[in-house]
Chains A and B, each alone.
Chain A
Amino acid sequence: MITLFFYLFSAVLLGASAMVVTSRNPVHAVLFLILAFLNAAALFLIAGAEFLALTLVVVYVGAVAVLFLFVVMMLDVDFVQLREGFQRYAPVGAAVGLVLFGELAAVLFGWEAWSGSFAVRGSATPSSVSNTVALGQVLYTHYVYLFQLSGLILLVAMIGAIVLTHRERRGALRQDIGRQQARRVDETLEILQVPSRAGAGQIGLFRPKHLPSPVRDREPVERA
């Protein structure tokens, strides 16, 4: 049964990956990418790596792929124009790909792990706990230094995004809490005697003089 599912997910994964690079419509490509991620996650689940599987779904499907989708939809990229050089560069690309593929094949078929590799592995396969627990046990202890450094990397990414894109805009409306707190009633409210039975039609619209008129408004109607 597991084997059947393995081949099912693998086949869909391969098909979806092929569609990612071949489909003409970039939005379709991103959707196929999401399909590929989901199937890869299923394969991880079969292999017993539930943490990786869920991370793949949460991070890659939930965040990265959706981000891709937004970028593809919002940027005005002419994909036909992008593909113009494709014919010209195809032979070079194919040659490089072929060489890489050959190397990969050589690696794969000549592969052999060092006999002592099991003895020196950082953490053995956990038998009594699920691998999320096992990961948590080492992530914040053995690897705390790297964990904190990864946090710094994210911080730098955030600083970078702000430095490169944030601009102080003139005329932007900002909340000034100090000024709000310092306001007094008599600056804000003006008490008027309104004759009874006189509606807005008779006294006209009223606007306190010390307030600036909204830009789009026509001339404020003065009180008669």
Chain B
Amino acid sequence: MNWQAAAPEIFLACSGLVILLLGVSLRQDRSKLCTWLTLGAFGVAGWLVVGTSPATAYEGLYVADGFAGFAKLLILAGGALSMILALDYNAQQRIARFEFPVLVLFSTVGMMTMASAANLMTLYIGLELQSLAIYVLAAFARDDIRSSEAGLKYFVLSALASGLLLYGISLAYGFAGTMQIGQLATAMTDPANLPAGVAVAVAFVIAGLAFKLSAVPFHMWTPDVYQGAPTPVTAFMSTAPKVAPFVVLLRVMLVGFGHVGAQWQPIIEIVSIASMILGSLAAIAQSNIKRLMAYSSIGHMGYALIGLAVGTEAGVRGVLIYLLTYIVMSAGTFACIIAMQRRGQQVDRIADLGGLARNDLPLAAVMAIFMFSMAGLPPMAGFFGKVYVFLAAVQAGFWTLAIIGVLTSVVGCFYYLRVIKVMFFDGAEAAFDRRTASVSAVAFAAGAFTLFFFAMPAPFVGAAARAARVLLG
């Protein structure tokens, strides 16, 4: 047994236990120390991911390949960025506790396991580990009624989604006699003779994972949870926990159910179209920036799902590039949102951004970069994400998806540009508190990546292409 294939996860889990013990045994509050240690552990785990050679381990339950490696690096980056954002925010809001980084760490272990899932059971357990930690994180500001509401709402609805997913998995197992994703494919090679149960199984698996992606029609929880959760937790939820269900959805659908594409392709298309339309239309009416970001993430998941509906290697590559650019600009946007504090209180109305350009030009500029990028305007990183997905759709003849995608992007421009208009041209509100170093670091690093992605996209696009080839090859 080559247990070393899972070295990144094992290392991360063990360091999580050590950090937990450390946090418990130290008398004073050591949340910052624990956060830095966790960040260090993430760094080492990332190095281990890069160094892991492709292998299948644990009787085929676990696979470490280039595709999983790419996803894991994204997941680690998302987790690390949101933990940096939480460094000063939690202390300011008096919710700093050492359990925060530990929960993020265990959630990340769950997500990395999902990325490496070669078996539906591995998928499920990874998903539960991820979700359980996020329920707690969403309710982390436990004296804030909105945060508690967010945690409870997410917990109840997510438990239902997990039930649907399990039901789908059990039906698939009942048909094929195996939960190995690779062996499912052999069971499904004869699409003409599939019983109705398999179609139901596929639909339920999609429903369970689409819930985690907050794709329409399983998006209802998103705005409330995004708004209620502490902002760094919202940042976390919109980065890494979007990547993990997405890559596992890619693997299950394209590898496990690859032969029965006719069963799931229409479902994914409808989910994608509905997400794009709802994401762009419902966001128009929002006056709260966190709710706006919630609808924006629904829309973005819709665009990324185009790549899955297409199902080609180019489509997978598009999804991976989309996820990469999305988590960076999303983390950056939330860094800017965290900077929206007056007298130590988080403010989150869009109108609160008024006059930001006069009070804090660098912050307004970097926020503008993220908004342009979210809208998909060239030459920002978000533009490339959309281009590769739409390109894959057009190449494979999915014109409807591409056209709807372009149209909803245009509608989306309206509300992203409205944020920029408020910042640069609207009435002056009082200045925000001084930005903390951690927030500035994340905002400007993400801003630089988003702005200069066009200068050297080749390494990222190349890595995504290799990962896609590994998945489908």
Give chain A's interface residues, CB within 8 Å of chain B: 103, 106-107, 110-114, 116-122, 142-146, 148-150, 152-153, 155-157, 159-160, 162-164
Tell whether, in the assembled complex, residue B177 and residue A117 are in contact, meaning their CB atoms are under 8 Å apart. yes
Q: Which bucket holds chain B's interface residue count?
A: 35 or more
Q: Which of B57, B125, B196, B200 contacts A153 (CB 8 A)?
A: B125
Cα A150 to Cα B103 in complex, Å, equals 15
Q: Does B263 contact A (CB under 8 A)?
A: no
Can you list 30 A-B pairs with a CB-CB distance of less than 8 A? A106-B200, A107-B200, A110-B197, A111-B195, A113-B175, A113-B176, A114-B175, A114-B177, A116-B177, A117-B177, A117-B178, A120-B176, A120-B177, A120-B178, A120-B187, A122-B180, A143-B121, A145-B57, A145-B62, A146-B58, A146-B122, A152-B13, A153-B129, A156-B132, A156-B133, A159-B106, A160-B133, A163-B103, A163-B136, A164-B151
List B contacts of A142 (CB < 8 A): 58-59, 61
A155 to B62, CA, bound (A): 22
Nearest A residue to B20 via CB reads: A159
Which A-chain residue is minimally distant from B151 (CB atoms)? A164
Contact partners of B183 in chain A: CB under 8 A = 120
Q: Is the CB of A159 within 8 A of B99?
A: yes
| Contact A121/B129 with A149-B113, A156-B103 known, Cβ cut-off 8 Å | no
- Indicate which residue in A114, A122, A159 contacts B187 across the interface (CB closer than 8 Å): A114
Q: How many A-B residue pairs lie within 8 Å, measured between CB atoms?
A: 114
Q: How far is the CB of B220 from chain A (nearest CB, A)?
A: 15
> Would B121 and A146 count as touching, CB distance under 8 A?
yes
Measured between beta carbons, the chain A residues less than 8 angstroms from B171 are 107
Select B179's contact among A116, A122, A150, A155, beta carbons within 8 Å.
A122
Complex Cα distance A161/B175, Å? 38
- What are the residues of chain B within 8 A of A114 when measuring CB–CB? 175-177, 187
Q: Which residues of A have CB within 8 Å of B186?
A: 116, 120
B223 within 8 A of A: no
Which residues of B are at the interface with A, using a C-beta cutoff of 8 A?
A: 3, 6, 13, 20, 57-59, 61-62, 97, 99, 102-103, 106-107, 109-110, 113, 121-122, 125-126, 128-129, 132-133, 135-136, 139-140, 142, 151, 171, 174-180, 183, 186-187, 195-197, 200
Q: Which residue of B lies closest to A138 (CB)?
A: B59
Q: Which residues of B contact A145 (CB under 8 A)?
A: 3, 6, 57-58, 61-62, 122
Scoring A110, A160, A164 by chain B CB atoms within 10 A of each residue's CB, the highest score goes to A160
New A-B pairs, 4, CB < 8 Å, besides A116-B177, A122-B180, A145-B6? A106-B196, A120-B180, A122-B178, A163-B97
Q: Is B177's CB under 8 angstroms from A160's CB? A: no
Of A113, A122, A149, the contact of B129 (CB 8 Å cutoff): A149
CB distance from A136 to the nearest CB of B (A): 16
Question: What B residues does A116 contact at CB under 8 A?
Answer: 177, 186-187
Give the docked Cα–Cα distance between A178 and B128 (Å): 42
- B-chain residues with CB within 8 Å of residue A107 when the two chains form the complex: 171, 195-197, 200
Contacts of A111 in B (CB 8 A): 174, 195, 197
In Å, the complex CA distance between A162 and B58 comes to 33
Residue of A nearest to B135 (CB): A160
A144 to B122, CA, bound (A): 11
Measured CA separation A114–B178 after assembly (Å): 10
- Interface contact A150-B125, CB-CB below 8 Å: yes
CA distance A153 to B136 in the complex (A): 12
With a cutoff of 8 Å between Cβ atoms, the chain A residues found around residue B13 in the complex are 148, 152
* Residue on B nearest A113 in the bound complex, by CB: B175
CA distance A130 to B103 in the complex (A): 39
Q: B197 to chain A: which residues have CB within 8 Å?
A: 107, 110-111
Contact at A118–B103, with CB atoms within 8 Å? no
Chain A residues whose CB sits within 8 angstroms of the CB of B195 once the complex forms:
107, 110-112
Q: In the bound complex, how far is the Cα of B179 from the Cα of A121, in angstroms?
A: 9
Instruction: Evaluate whether A113 and B177 lie within 8 angstroms (CB atoms) in the complex, with A152-B13, A157-B132, A160-B135 already known.
Output: yes
| Pair A163/B140 contact, Cβ less than 8 Å | yes
Give chain B nearest CB distance to A143 CB in angstroms: 7
Chain A residues contacting B187 (CB-CB under 8 Å) are 114, 116-117, 120
With contacts A145-B122, A155-B106 known, is A163 near B99, CB below 8 A? yes
A149 partner residues in chain B, CB cutoff 8 A: 109-110, 113, 125-126, 129
Q: Which residues of A contact B177 (CB under 8 A)?
A: 113-114, 116-121
Residues of chain A lying within 8 A (CB to CB) of residue B102 = 159
> With A and B bound together, what is the CA distance between A112 and B193 in angstroms?
10
In the complex, A176→B366 CA distance in Å? Answer: 53
With both chains docked as a complex, state the minimum distance between the C-beta of B422 and any C-beta of chain A, in angstroms: 36
**Distance of A166 from chain B, by nearest CB (Å):** 10
Shortest Cβ distance from B107 into A: residue: A156
| Alpha-carbon gap, A156 to B3, bound state (A) | 23
Given A110-B195, A153-B125: A143 touches B61 (CB 8 Å cut-off): yes
The reply to whether B178 and A121 form a contact with Cβ atoms under 8 Å apart is: yes
Residues of B within 8 A of A120 (CB): 176-178, 180, 183, 186-187
Tell me which residues across on chain B come within 8 A of A164, comparing CB atoms: 136, 139, 142, 151
Report the bound CA distance from A169 to B197 in whole Å.
55
A101 vs B197: C-alpha distance when bound (angstroms): 13
Chain B residues whose C-beta falls within 8 Å of the C-beta of A157 in the assembled complex: 132
CA separation between A145 and B122, bound complex, in Å?
9
Contact A159 B103 (CB under 8 A): yes
- Chain B's nearest CB lies how many Å from the CB of A96? 12
Q: Are B174 and A113 in contact (CB under 8 A)?
A: yes
B200 & A103 in contact (Cβ 8 Å cutoff): yes
**Known contacts A107-B171, A121-B178; is-contact A159 B136 (Cβ 8 Å):** yes
